[in-house]
Structure 1
Amino acid sequence: MIKNFTFPASWSQMRWGLTATTLLACALFNTGQAQTWQSFTPPFRDTLGIYDIIAKGSQTAWFLGFRFGEENSAQIAGTVDGGASFNVVDIPIAGVPYTPCMAVTGDSTLYVMALQDWGNAVTLKSTDGGKNWANTKTPWDPSVSWPDYIHAFSDSLILQIGDPRDGEFEIYRSKDAGASWARIDGAEIPDPRSGEFGFNNCGDQVGSHIWFGTNQGRLYHSADEGASWDAMQTPLDGIGALSFSDEDHGIVVGMYGIADSVQTLAFHTEDGGRNWTELSIPVGTIYHYYGVPYYFKNRSVIVATTYTNPQLFGVNQTWVSFDRGANWILYSEGEIAGWPEFTSPQNGWAGEWGPILPGEPTKVFKYIGQALVPPSSNIWQAFDPGYTPPNLGCSAIEVLNPQTVWALHAHYSVNDSLYGFFVDSLVRTARTTDGGASWQTGYVPVGNPAFVANLCAIDAQTAWVAGIDASGGGSKILKTEDGGQTWKHLTTAPWDPVVSWVNFVHFWSPAKGVTMGDPRDGEFEIYLTGNGGQFWSRVPGDKIPDPLPGEFGYNNDFDVLGNTIWFGTNKGRVFRSDNAGASWQVYDTGLPDGSLEFGDNGHGIFSYVDFSNSKTELRISRDRGETWTELNGIPEGGNIRMNSLEFVPGSNVIVMTTTNASLLHGLFRTWISADDGMTWKEIDHSTNIGWMEFSSPSVGWGGQPQVLNGPSYLFKYTGSVLTGLLTAKALEMEVQAWPNPVHEQLHLSFRAPEAEDFILLLNDAQGKLIERRLLRGVSMATEVLETQHLPAGNYHLTVASASGSKSLAIIVH
């Protein structure tokens, strides 16, 4: 397969030896954490715990903090430039402060609820970002009142909630920005039970709806901005946190016990609290919860941050569920990310929840990970193999049959434009023997730090991994015979631990194999075995064309067809052996660098990706690699980055995956070509595929390159409706499209001999996907496609199923 997550050119000068400086750099990058949260240290006067966060997008957020038991410790930090700078202001609370909640309106108006020396309730207001403060004269009783929650519905309408006083919850509304306050009449609020009270900051608001929870498991709700209330009992004995995405869908969380015996329970409602369903919780109920935010305008996505005991030294984790808590995905470990507050799937903030060890700076966190949306595609189905830690990059895939698939993953340092050097020992394999329904993962002891070259599997139990132990062990070949649970180092390959650099290992059978490495002693280092790796013999130098100065190969950049094997180099050359590696020829592609892929018809493509300019060049050979010609029909004029390319066995079709200038954020697209890469048709624009392998027109898998955070997704090709397209078989049915030429609406109809799944593709003249529709189990259909927004020009309409495909030329005026 072609894969273009290669290292920068400067790396070629380093890869021959691992200096102390290189190893130090590896250690410095070896955080072991996904890039989920970026930490900042606002200049608080003391070590504080963060107890409330108001987020207003990616640039603006406010953080309320104080330190339990310490006088004059209450402060607010605000940023309006995404964390580049913070303005920290004091909250003038006499004595020992307790500040449970705040509200923010506009750019600089702050409200803070507080207790002074654990009494004397007060609500303060600042209209200049905290430089000056005034008492809002909320009529709290200084000896009895206990404020819990404050919310600003608008610049003028402010609501405050406190514990019961005089037999009713103490709820105040101001319609003039805090200049005056009116207490909600007790007749509008269900009476509290004996001993019932609220918790600090245990509330939420959506539109005109507002909620708060109590220590007796009741959920109070108002649909009219706090003017009148109802109460409903949840299955919890006490509500410690709650979150709603709309007036119907919400979560309540409760924790029980003390110290190491704390347990957490959570329940979910879809009808505004009338009925509740227990929510599954990550890794059982033994975790504390820092926060459970339900997504902004999303009923399915939940983010939860948790910690285990002991609080200061336990495991801190961030979890995401895309299905209302039915399944949880571990996104990161290590950050004490309390009170997470999201305003969109891309933008969120969190803060270190106290108490924190004295003297340590207080951290706040900005979410910098992938947008929290589940993968969605009609072509690729996502599977999480379940690695811990989760965020690894796919390095290779082996598709043996529809049921058995192997994948190799490692941990990289990655940014938006380039993969970096290997950073640790996290080399893993995932294997399924039931088409992805279940996965078995294993650790491959390559070294620490480790660099993986490739994976070769011949059945469900037997596989080999080639890689480099950068701690001094050098090049290695490891073998498993138990499905990846244990691995044995085959020490018989005579690699030099300092000079040798293995690029791949391949076995045709349990006995017959080849491994190839970069030049050593003036020749490429190639070994053959006929007994499963018990003994290796080096191919003589006179059987291999001499390398050019500075020439080397790339990890996993090879292909095999029968006994013919090819590998590519950084000088744009292709080496070929027709006798399983015993002797070699070399051919020049005319490109300066790149990777190769061959089909079962002997046609091959060599690709060169200019990473700095996000451009791709392709050349094709139709004589098994001997001569090469330029391909001019690359999508987007070549102004894309090709990730992977695969000839589909049993067809003349090529599948290619690409991204634009961003490795991390896309646009990610899948293309197919049925004419040796002369023209391309886009079939998917949502799935990040970095490595890909097909075993037939209907069986293929892809692997996600490492991203900022989240699971190490593997993707199963589910586009069976495209099988006819991949095999280029004509669809035996009549397809009509009218009017043609078209201006506003294109009507399409077809009638098939029998019911099937069909896919409709509308592509422009360059192959870019304009619209895709999936029709399940139909024998006839009539569809209307809106075209008034399309530029005038030529388009292609394709109807495809497993039986074949049919295309029509469409003209848009």
Structure 2
Amino acid sequence: MNPMVALSLVTSMSVGITPSVPAWTATADTGVTARLRGLSAVSSQVAWASGSAGTVLRTVNGGNSWQQVGPPETSDLQFRDIEAFDSHRAVILAIGPGESSRVYLTSDGGGSWRETFRNTDPNAFYDCMAFFDRSHGLALSDPVDGKFRILSTSDGGQSWNVLPNDNMPAALEGEFAFAASGTCLTTAPGLGRDAWFATGGGATARVFHTRNGGRSWSVSDTAIPSGPSAGIYSLSFRDPWHGIAVGGDFVTPTSAPDAAAVTRDGGRTWTLAQAEPGEYRSGVFYGLTRAIAVGPTGSDISFNGGKTWTRFDTTSLDSVDCAFPWACWASGENGRVVRLK
């Protein structure tokens, strides 16, 4: 979601709201069967979603109807991440090895698109992206020559540059990021240049952190189990200090012990949740008064910063995003998009 929208959410909501268990409500039929792993909530009325088979969707009336607005001749691409700034402007990321990793930009609600980046390195594989504001953003690639690669834009996605990796810690053997919901890379609300990305695949699930927009990074270990298909799948920060990590193993979605953790120091240290969802979760959103995690076996809510979680739905979902004032959307398989009641 737009970081400035998230900032409004963090600074404007009352902390005195009585916790209540929510429910997902289906939006209108999207008209597609694609798996929608990319999601960007702009407001209670405007949301964008993206996914397999070159699919990009937009609603401007709260999900009462959807428009198919994807770029032409991209049915072979997987649009795993989308970052929208309003009803007109959005950036989408296609994932995959080599030239399958691309970025497209629209400024007219999907009426036309411009390709602004195409990866030419056969060893790179871009997984996710995030923006600090309407101009500055980053995209993350799996390791190339032993280090994660960072792509940067300062003009809202119109052009991109690969950042030097001199100050990027070395990747572990087998370590990579998960392109499951477009949230393996995230930023914090505010005016800073803090960003984090999460990993798995190797011996340890780790979180990388930059304070200067991607020029240098530090890394911290977590106790979330890691393996060939296990680790941290999603990160969300409500401010530069408080964050939540969720994940598990998508091969065993009904069992994911210790697959949620929290930080209160900007990602330097992570503490496992006291009562985690217990199942694989691919997406999380952390607001001021609550957090929501989603996955193919259901959704969970936390009212205490991710320490404990309560299941409230069993719908299969991949991604979740919220906009002020707590207008939450989620998306998943078979073209499904739901809204929080």
Q: What TM-score do the two structures reach when normalised by structure 2?
A: 0.79
User: CA offset at residue 434 of structure 1?
Assistant: 2.1
Q: Any idea what SS the aligned residue of 1:627 has?
A: coil
Q: 1:677 corresponds to which residue? A: 306
The code of the aligned residue for 1:598 comes to: S
Contact 2:26 2:338 (C-alpha < 8 Å) held by counterparts = yes
Q: 1:37 corresponds to which residue? A: none
Counting only pairs closer than 5 Å after superposition, residues 397-796 of structure 1 correspond to structure 2 as: 397-410=39-52, 426-445=53-72, 447=74, 449-468=76-95, 473-491=99-117, 495-555=119-179, 556=182, 557-561=184-188, 562=190, 563-570=193-200, 571=202, 572-591=205-224, 592=226, 593-601=231-239, 602-613=241-252, 614-616=254-256, 617=258, 618-635=260-277, 638=278, 640-648=279-287, 651-658=288-295, 663=296, 668=298, 670-682=299-311, 684-696=312-324, 698-706=326-334, 712-718=335-341
User: CA offset at residue 394 of structure 1?
Assistant: 1.3
Q: Any idea what SS the aligned residue of 2:328 has?
A: strand
Contact 2:51 2:78 (C-alpha < 8 Å) held by counterparts = no
Contact 2:93 2:103 (C-alpha < 8 Å) held by counterparts = yes
User: CA offset at residue 575 of structure 1?
Assistant: 0.9
Q: Any idea what SS the aligned residue of 2:300 has?
A: strand
User: CA offset at residue 462 of structure 1?
Assistant: 1.0
- Distance, in Å, in 2 between the alignment partners of 1:453 and 1:446 is 17
- Distance, in Å, in 2 between the alignment partners of 1:508 and 1:607 is 22
- Compared CA separation, residues 381 and 558, structure 1 to 2 (3 A): same
Cα deviation, 1:551-595, whole Å, max 9, x if unaligned, reads 222222111113211111123111111122222111111332222
User: CA offset at residue 533 of structure 1?
Assistant: 4.2
- Compared CA separation, residues 520 and 678, structure 1 to 2 (3 A): closer
Runs (5+) with no aligned partner, structure 1: 2-376, 411-425, 707-711, 719-813
Higher strand share: 1
- Distance, in Å, in 2 between the alignment partners of 1:378 and 1:529 is 37
RMSD after superposition: 2.6
Q: Any idea what SS the aligned residue of 2:51 has?
A: strand
Cα deviation, 1:742-766, whole Å, max 9, x if unaligned, reads xxxxxxxxxxxxxxxxxxxxxxxxx
The code of the aligned residue for 1:698 comes to: W
Contact 2:168 2:217 (C-alpha < 8 Å) held by counterparts = yes
Pick which of 584-593 and 446-455 moved more.
446-455
User: CA offset at residue 504 of structure 1?
Assistant: 2.2
User: CA offset at residue 469 of structure 1?
Assistant: 6.3
Name the count of aligned residue pairs. 304
| Identical-residue share of aligned pairs (%) | 26
Structure 1 residue 383 and structure 2 residue 27: aligned? yes
- Compared CA separation, residues 612 and 406, structure 1 to 2 (3 A): closer
The code of the aligned residue for 1:574 comes to: V
Contact 1:466 1:478 (C-alpha < 8 Å) held by counterparts = yes
User: CA offset at residue 457 of structure 1?
Assistant: 1.1
- Compared CA separation, residues 611 and 499, structure 1 to 2 (3 A): closer
The code of the aligned residue for 2:126 comes to: V
Runs (5+) with no aligned partner, structure 2: 2-20
Q: Any idea what SS the aligned residue of 1:443 has?
A: coil
User: CA offset at residue 525 of structure 1?
Assistant: 1.7
Counting only pairs closer than 5 Å after superposition, residues 37-436 of structure 1 correspond to structure 2 as: 379-387=23-31, 390-410=32-52, 426-436=53-63
Greater relative contact order (CA < 8 Å, ≥ 6 in sequence): 2
Larger radius of gyration: 1
User: CA offset at residue 506 of structure 1?
Assistant: 3.1
Contact 1:474 1:496 (C-alpha < 8 Å) held by counterparts = no
Contact 1:595 1:608 (C-alpha < 8 Å) held by counterparts = yes
Q: Any idea what SS the aligned residue of 2:166 has?
A: helix
- Distance, in Å, in 1 between the alignment partners of 2:94 and 2:302 is 33
Contact 1:384 1:713 (C-alpha < 8 Å) held by counterparts = no
- Distance, in Å, in 1 between the alignment partners of 2:237 and 2:147 is 28
Q: Any idea what SS the aligned residue of 1:473 has?
A: helix
- Distance, in Å, in 2 between the alignment partners of 1:548 and 1:542 is 16
Q: Any idea what SS the aligned residue of 2:36 has?
A: strand
- Distance, in Å, in 2 between the alignment partners of 1:686 and 1:615 is 14
Q: Any idea what SS the aligned residue of 1:456 has?
A: strand
- Compared CA separation, residues 398 and 446, structure 1 to 2 (3 A): farther
- Compared CA separation, residues 611 and 513, structure 1 to 2 (3 A): closer
Q: Any idea what SS the aligned residue of 2:124 has?
A: coil
Contact 2:54 2:76 (C-alpha < 8 Å) held by counterparts = no
Contact 1:446 1:468 (C-alpha < 8 Å) held by counterparts = no
- Compared CA separation, residues 462 and 644, structure 1 to 2 (3 A): same
User: CA offset at residue 715 of structure 1?
Assistant: 0.7
The code of the aligned residue for 1:699 comes to: A
Q: 1:13 corresponds to which residue? A: none
User: CA offset at residue 626 of structure 1?
Assistant: 0.7
Contact 1:447 1:473 (C-alpha < 8 Å) held by counterparts = no
